[in-house]
C-alpha cells in the first residue's frame, strides 16, 4: 500500500528520559499480544495519505520555528480498560489548534476534538486489573515534567505503525 492510501498518524516526540519512563511502564502493563507500538502521545489519528507531501512540507516549516515544549505530567487517567498519564501544556494546545486549522478540510471527527494529551501505558485490559493499576500508580504519583522535542509522522497499514518522518523542534 502506498503512502497515498495509508492513513497518517502524527505524534509528539518526547525527550529520551520521558520516552523511556513511559515505554518501561507500557512494556510492563500493556497486554503483550496487543502491544504493537512504543509509548506515544497522539496528536492526530487519521490524516489523509494523499496529502502526504503537503503535510510534510507544512510540518517542516512549522517545526523549524517551534521551540521544544515543556510538558507537565499531571496525573493518571482511568480509561475503563486501561490507564494513561495525563499531560498539560498550553503551548501544545496552541500548536494543535494551529494544525487543526491548517488541516480542517481533511480532519475526521475524532481529530476535530480538543486535544487531551496523554500517554497510554495500559489498554484493552480487564477492567478490574485496569482499576487496580490506576489506584496503585495514583497512590504514589508525583507530578513531573517532560519535554516535547518534535513531531513524528507515521503510516498505519493495519499493524505496527511505519515511521515516515521525524521533525525536531528547531527554535530556541
Please report, for residues 62, 78, 111, 113, 138, the alpha-carbon distance to residue 83 in angstroms, rounded to integers and kept in the order given.
Answer: 32, 5, 21, 20, 10
Q: What is the pLDDT of residue 1?
A: 60
pLDDT value at position 71? 99
Please state, as a whole number, how many other Cβ atoms lie within 10 Å of the Cβ of residue 172. 5
Distance CA 108, CA 104 (A): 9
CA-to-CA distance for 68 and 83, rounded, in angstroms? 26
Q: Which residue bears the cell 485496569?
A: 130
Contact 95, 68 (CB under 8 A): no
**What topology is assigned to 3-168 in CATH?**
Cyclic Phosphodiesterase; Chain: A, (3.90.1140)
pLDDT value, residue 36: 83
Please tell me the pTM assigned to this model: 0.95
- Per domain, the residue ranges of the chain are 3-168
CA distance 122 to 93: 24
Outline where the chain has alpha helix (H).
16-29, 52-64, 90-103, 127-140
Q: What is the pLDDT along the chain (172 residues), one digit of tens a residue?
A: 678 789 999 999 999 999 999 999 999 998 887 888 899 999 999 999 999 999 999 999 999 999 999 999 999 999 999 999 999 999 999 999 999 999 999 999 999 999 999 999 999 999 999 999 999 999 999 999 999 999 999 999 888 899 999 999 999 8
In the chain, count H helices and then E strands: 4, 7
State how far the Cα of 102 lies from the Cα of 91, in Å rounded to an integer. 17
Which pLDDT does position 35 carry in this prediction?
Answer: 81
Amino acid at each position: 500500500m502506498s503512502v497515498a492510501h495509508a492513513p497518517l498518524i502524527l505524534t509528539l516526540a518526547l525527550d529520551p528520559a520521558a520516552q523511556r519512563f513511559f515505554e518501561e511502564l507500557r512494556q510492563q502493563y500493556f497486554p503483550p499480544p496487543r502491544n504493537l507500538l512504543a509509548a506515544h502521545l497522539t496528536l492526530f489519528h487519521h490524516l489523509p495519505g494523499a496529502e502526504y507531501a503537503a503535510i510534510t512540507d507544512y510540518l517542516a516549516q512549522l517545526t523549524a520555528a517551534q521551540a521544544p515544549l515543556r510538558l507537565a505530567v499531571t496525573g493518571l487517567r482511568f480509561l475503563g480498560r486501561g490507564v494513561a498519564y495525563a499531560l498539560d501544556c498550553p503551548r501544545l494546545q496552541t500548536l494543535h489548534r494551529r494544525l487543526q486549522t491548517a488541516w480542517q478540510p481533511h480532519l475526521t471527527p475524532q481529530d476535530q476534538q480538543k486535544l487531551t494529551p496523554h500517554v497510554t501505558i495500559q489498554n484493552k485490559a480487564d477492567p478490574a486489573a485496569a482499576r487496580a493499576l490506576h489506584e496503585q500508580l495514583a497512590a504514589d504519583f508525583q507530578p513531573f515534567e517532560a519535554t516535547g522535542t518534535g513531531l513524528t509522522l507515521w503510516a498505519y497499514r493495519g499493524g505496527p505503525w511505519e515511521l515516515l518522518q521525524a521533525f525536531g523542534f528547531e527554535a530556541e
